Structure 1
Amino acid sequence: MKRLFHTLFITLLFTFAVNCSYANSEPLVITDIGAIEGVSEHGVEHFYGIPYAKAPVHDLRFAPTVAADPFADTFKADSFCPVVPQSSFIVKRKGFRTGDNSLCLNIYRPKNAKKGDKLPVFVWIHGGAYMMGASNNPYYDGTAFAKDGVILVSINYRLHALGFYSSKYTYKKYGTTGNWGHLDMIEALKWVRNYIESFGGDPDKVTIGGESAGSMAVSSLVLSPLAKGLFKRAVLESGTILSYPFVSLYKSENSKSAFTNSAAIATLFGADDSESGLEALRTIDPLLLSYNCGYDFDMVKNTFSFFKPYFDGVVLPQDPYKELQQKKKEEVSNPKDNIEILIGYNTDEGSLFTDNLNVLELKTAIKNTFGESKVQSIAALYLKDKEPTDSAFKEASSYNADIMFNLGMKIFADAMSKNHKVYMYHFDYAPFEYKKSHKGVSHSSEIAYVFSTLPEGAQKDMKKVSDNMHQRFVNFIKTGDPNFNGKSMTPIRWPLYNERSPKVYKIDKLPYVENFKLKDRLDKLEELLYSDYDNE
């Protein structure tokens, strides 16, 4: 009898130990490239710093992305990888470090998610003018999405010269140039397509999204033939491929600035556009490169030396504006090509990029950007009854908002809504103390509301706006309709946008549907900028 009780005791003890070990174990996912172990935090499961591509060093710098090798052992995905080398403020924050092994992604999924769950996936592309930023920014924490049944994937990609250096030699060698960062994104999307199912995701329900340069990248991927079939939906927050000066309004300006600015940085380091010049550039410290190609846009002079994506005709269309106009004439025959789009803007997009100019300085900025012949017509859209020395901050801010973000958004939405479902929002909320300042509802201020990453102690109204905006985005990611969560409809119907009926969902303390208030001005601006475009 004693032996029986002893055996039972040992058996129970072993069972208890195994169960405790299982209960305390971290999430482990088996994929075709090896085992990946994450961490359980805040009621969801996180997998940090998973490499999707080889480190872009030596022959892989200023070259197409190469997929990462399979793991030899279990990969411990318990900390963020280094961020792309950059000179921005972000690397001075606690927890941020730069390094070559930066082409990685992070996954946030619901607790106990498993293969076969077929959960929707949201791939987030950070902003930062194509020259700074990182996926591990606390604002991009995907916990709230995971708790709502969405797998969020955030990615790093090459920035500044590392990501967008253009040269004739690299174009000849690789068949493309100036889009190394975009190729990183495409490789990350291929990784998601191949392996996200092991994490419980559905590779056929992938939404890509981004803000600012991330949104510009999303629009670029929508138009890129290389990204075809890698996603079903797209979220664009403040930016498109026609955002100037971060990308370009015109094909000719794009080619000139992409190659001129790239040649300038090469010359600075004693390199020319040749094989030996490329090899020389590859030896330069990435941080040193970044310090010499930061954001330096002079609005009045219309000068800048930073890098932008090149319309190469391979990764991106050679002429995005004409490509979008063509989309108005095409019919979508393959349902897989039907991309559902959620796109929007903030009330005061231009305020962060605008100095306190006077009227004369604003007109000078317009002349230096679009030529003498268009100054008065464009200025008339913004300036009313003002003297040359009068302050024009508000007007200059509106002009910047349109050139940098709103015009491209309107053109993109008009074109895509011909054959695709498009939903447009207008974010118009900020706490009173922000709204009364000259910055207003500024660029990027909506991010924390989308991700539900508001600071502790956020006001009740802030939380209310965030709950609504976040849920609308979750609905769209799940169903392609911000009104429907898969089971029920929301009380206020967010209508589809189209060129002839430009309805917009206004996000504020009390959300409602409005007409697109900027439409008339942006239609006139488009006509002024593109009326003679065929003769460019």
Structure 2
Amino acid sequence: MDAPVTVTAPAGTFRGLLDRSVLSWRGIRFAVAPTGDRRWRDPLPAPDAEGEVDATSEAVEDEDCLSLNVWAPADASESGRPVMVWLHGGAYTFGSSSQPLYDATSMVSTGGVIVVTVNYRLGALGFLDLSGALPDAGFDGNLALKDVLLALRWVQRNVAAFGGDPDRVTVFGESAGGGLVTTLLATPSARGLFHRAIAQSSPASSVYGTARAEKVARSFLGELGIDPDDAGAPAALQAAPVEAVVAAGKAVYAAVPTTDPGTLAFAPVVDGILLPEAPITALRAGRGIPVPLMIGTNKDEASLFSFMKSPLIPITGDRIDQMFADMAAENTGVELPTREQVLTAYEHVRHRAIGLGVARDIGFRLPTLWLAEGHSTVAPVWLYRFDHASPFLRLIGLGATHATELPYLWGNLVSGPKDLTFRLGGRRVAELISARMQARWTAFARGDAPSAPDAPAWPTFTADGDDARATLVIDRHDVVVSDLDGELRRAWGDNVLSFS
């Protein structure tokens, strides 16, 4: 039965709940997102609360969405616990920290950690860069990245009151959230705000420059019927209802990948100020913030996008060909692998599945390999691949697709009575995998090697030696494989490509 519990932090006094052995505080405001005629401005730190704040339910969906949730073990005998700050995925356009999947009860109760889940502004509200299309209008950029930085500062200031150690903060995320993690590693002002990082299925190369951002902004303004060259454009934009802004953002989100295969409409922008250079470039060269990193992908990342007929990942032959052409145009002066050389990595793949393989590798696996190579020169790196799929997911052809590791990590294996994941069995195996994943992730957050009971040790990623490029393969039984993707790496070459 839920019981109230109150904690007093520098930011205020918050009343949460005790459910079984876990405390939770939900919907705590950490920043204010300017709205209305102040929209597309930097977030402001939330003022310290006066009186007792009811933090027993998530914040409602709103343009000013900058809230976070905190979970902690009820056992107050230990303080200074490791802290894990979660950044959710959703193509930088969808999702929420309050999705039931991200209920941290299981992870907290088994791992003894503090978990914080964070909201940031999404889509056009969080990632639109208007500095090129409306250069004199005074709009700010990289808003969602700044939202996350403020959340991490809130954690530094307040988490000790919840039993956490501000000197042991791990930032972790999946998909777009993983992309924010790898972006934070290349953001100089993030130094000191976190001490370890976990990037799951990060689209690390899907971060673009200001020219691309201006193109997207002009498309967005066009959806709203606003001429950027009109003197009244800034005022017209500010006067647009939030519903129209969201609708225009969704239209651009759907349109951009159809003309530029393999790219996202909304993502962090390399502005030369907050983000000096592309994260994939910085980290590949060993210029990231030198904190230990756990990073990996799923075996069948692209199958979900194909199943959903999503435009985000190019699957068909003509769109793959266009992507190769776009890469050649973007990477002048770089010795690119030929199409024939690349396809040698897929000789054992069924012809119809080649597009899935190329899309998976260029969107997720290759950037992850390149990033692991570079970052391992400045900090310990652990590389994984999640290969497990329930019998039902294998039957319908999804396999270990994008985001399938999440229920295992969070210990929330079934989303409701209509969830078909274990319709054909496999629940007991899934519970064992979940226990190992939680043990490894929380051990890493404590500052230890990411080990699990009755499972093989996971060596760090190195470019040479007996365990060169060691990869933990997470499946029914974990195994460690050296240079798991060697064939892929050799076919694509070592040059980091731009996909903007």
What is the TM-score with the length of structure 2 in the denominator? 0.86
- Whole-Å separation in 1 of the counterparts to 2:436 and 2:264: 40
Q: Which amino acid aligns with 2:480?
A: V
8 Å contact kept, 1:160–1:290: yes
Give the counterpart of 1:267 among 210, 213, 222. 222
The residue that corresponds to 1:20 in the other structure is none
1:464 alignment counterpart:
432
Q: Identity of aligned pairs, percent?
A: 27
**More off after superposition, 397-406 vs 269-278:** 269-278
- Matched position secondary structure for 2:269: coil
Where do residues 332-347 of structure 1 align in structure 2 (5 Å cutoff)? 338-347=290-299
Counterpart position of 1:293 = 249
The answer to whether structure 1 residue 507 and structure 2 residue 474 are counterparts is: yes
Which residue is 2:23 aligned to?
Answer: 45
Secondary structure of 2:285's partner?
Answer: helix
1:346/1:157 Cα in 2 relative to 1: closer, same or farther (>3 Å)? Answer: same
What is the DSSP-based 3-state SS (H/G/I as helix, E as strand, rest coil) of the residue aligned with 1:308? coil
Distance 1:528 1:394, change over 3 A: farther
| The one of 57, 63, 70 aligned to 1:107 | 70
Q: Mapping of 1:137-536 within 5 angstroms? A: 137-147=99-109, 148-168=111-131, 177-243=140-206, 247-248=207-208, 254-269=209-224, 270-272=226-228, 276-294=232-250, 295-296=253-254, 301-302=259-260, 306-327=265-286, 338-354=290-306, 359=317, 362-370=320-328, 376-377=339-340, 380-381=343-344, 384=347, 392-455=351-414, 459-483=427-451, 491-500=455-464, 501-527=468-494, 530=497
**For the residues of structure 2 that align with 1:173 and 1:281, how far apart are their CA atoms?**
10
Relative to structure 1, is the Cα distance of residues 183 and 276 closer, same or farther in structure 2, using a 3 angstrom cutoff?
A: farther
What letter corresponds to residue 45 of structure 2 in structure 1?
A
CA positional deviation for 1:468: 0.9
**Is the contact between residue 122 and residue 150 of structure 1 (CA under 8 Å) also seen in structure 2?**
yes
Q: 2:9 maps to what in 1?
A: 31
Letter in 2 for 1:346: N
Deviates more, 1:162-171 or 1:210-219: 162-171
How many Å apart are 1:477 and its aligned residue?
1.0
The one-letter code of the counterpart of 1:302 is D
Q: Counterpart of 2:419?
A: none
d(CA) in 2 for partners of 1:192, 1:273 = 42
C-alpha contact 2:410 2:438 (8 A) present in aligned 1:
yes
Taking structure 1 as the reference length, what is the TM-score of the superposition? 0.80
Give the 3 Å change call, closer, same or farther, for CA 215–526 of structure 1 in structure 2.
Answer: farther
Greater CA drift, 286-295 or 501-510: 286-295
| In 1, Cα distance between equivalents of 2:182 and 2:103 | 23
CA distance in 2, matches of 1:371, 1:220: 24
TM-superposition CA deviations, 1:46-69 (whole Å, max 9, x none) = 100000011331354211110001
Unaligned runs of 5+ in 2: 331-335, 417-421
AA aligned to 1:53 is A
Number of corresponding residues: 470
- Write the deviation string for residues 123-143 of structure 1: whole angstroms up to 9, x where unpaired: 000000101110011111111
**SS of alignment partner, residue 234 of structure 2:** helix
**Residue type matched to 1:41 in 2?**
D
Distance 1:317 1:212 in 2: 22
Tell me the secondary structure at the aligned position of residue 521 of structure 1.
helix
Distance in 2 (CA, whole Å) between partners of 1:224 and 1:366 is 29
Change in CA separation of 1:258 and 1:281 when aligned onto 2, cut-off 3 Å: same
Pairing 1:135–2:113 present: no
Report the structure number with the largest CA radius of gyration. 1
CA distance in 1, matches of 2:337, 2:258: 15
Partner SS, residue 468 of structure 1: helix
Please give the alpha-carbon distance, in whole angstroms, between the structure 2 residues aligned to 1:514 and 1:275: 60
Relative contact order, higher structure (CA 8 A, sep 6+): 2
The answer to whether the Cα contact below 8 Å between 1:430 and 1:440 also exists between their aligned partners in 2 is yes
Q: Given that residues 105 and 154 in structure 1 are in contact (C-alpha distance below 8 angstroms), is that contact kept between their aligned partners in structure 2?
A: yes
Pair 1:164–1:359, CA change in 2 (3 A): closer
> Which segment is superposed worse, 210-219 or 345-354?
345-354
User: In the alignment, which residue of structure 2 is the partner of 1:3?
Assistant: none
CA distance in 2, matches of 1:67, 1:340: 28
RMSD: 3.0
The 1:278–1:41 alpha-carbon spacing in structure 2 relative to 1, beyond 3 Å, is: farther
Cα distance in 1 between the residues matched to 2:348 and 2:409: 39
Counterpart CA distance in 1 for 2:220 and 2:410 is 37
Q: Tell me the secondary structure at the aligned position of residue 194 of structure 1.
A: helix
Is 1:57 the counterpart of 2:19? The answer is no
Q: Which runs of no fewer than 5 residues in structure 1 stay unpaired?
A: 1-22, 83-97, 249-253, 331-336
Distance in 2 between the 1:522 and 1:221 partners?
25
Could you say if the C-alpha distance between residues 419 and 104 of structure 1 is closer, same or farther in structure 2, counting changes exceeding 3 Å? same
Question: Given residue 442 of structure 1, which amino acid in structure 2 is its aligned partner?
Answer: T
Name the structure 2 match of 1:72: 50
- Tell me how far apart the structure 2 counterparts of residues 51 and 279 of structure 1 sit (CA, whole Å): 29
3-state SS in 1 of match to 2:270: coil
